[in-house]
Amino acid sequence: MIADSFSYVAILVALGGGLTYLEKRSKSRFFEYAPPIVLLYFGVMLLATAAVWPGPGENADIDAAYRALRNNLLPAMIFLMLLKSDLRQIRKLGLRMLLAFLAATLSIMVGFVVAFAIFQSLLEPDAWKTFAALSGSWMGGTGNMAAIQGALDVPDSSMGYTLLIDSIDYAIWVILLLALVPYAKHFNRWSKADTSVIDSVGARLEAEQQAEGKSIQGTDLLFLLGLSLLVSAIVQALSIGLPTGAFMTTTTWVVLIVTVLGVIGAVTPLGRIPGSGELATVMLYVIIALIASRASFAELSKAPIYIVAGLVILAIHGSIMVAVAKLFRVDLFSLGVASLANIGGVASAPILAAAYSRVLIPVGVLMAMLGYIVGTAGGLLVGRILSGIAA
| Tens digit of each residue's pLDDT (9 = 90 or more) over 268-307 | 999 888 888 889 889 988 988 888 888 777 666 677 888 8
User: In whole numbers, what is the pLDDT of the chain averaged over residues?
Assistant: 84
Q: Is the pLDDT of residue 95 over 90?
A: no
Let me know the angle formed at the C-alpha of 77 by 73 and 79, rounded to the nearest 5 degrees.
120
Percent of the chain with pLDDT over 90: 27
Domain hosting 59: range is 5-390
Top pLDDT among 41 and 67 is at 67
Q: Is the pLDDT of residue 140 over 90?
A: no
How many Å apart are CA 166 and CA 313, to the nearest integer?
12
Residue 126, SS3 per DSSP: coil
Closest CA to 378 of 149, 150, 158, 138: 138
Residue 359: the pLDDT is: 62
Q: What is the mean pLDDT of residues 309-332?
A: 92
Sorted by sequence, the CB contacts under 8 Å of residue 50 that are 6+ apart come out as: none
Q: b/e string for 234-253 if b means 16 or more Cβ within 10 A?
A: ebbeebeeeeeeeeebebbb
Residue 339: the pLDDT is: 92
Q: Is the pLDDT of residue 230 over 70?
A: yes
Q: Is the pLDDT of residue 211 over 60?
A: no
Using a cut of 0.95, tell me whether the model's pTM lies above it. no
Closest CA to 93 of 177, 197, 185: 197
| Number of domains observed in the structure of the chain | 1
> With contact defined as beta carbons under 8 Å apart, do 360 and 354 qualify?
yes
Q: Is the pLDDT of residue 345 over 80?
A: no
Helix H segments across 248-331? 250-266, 276-292, 303-328
Q: What is the mean pLDDT of residues 29-45?
A: 80
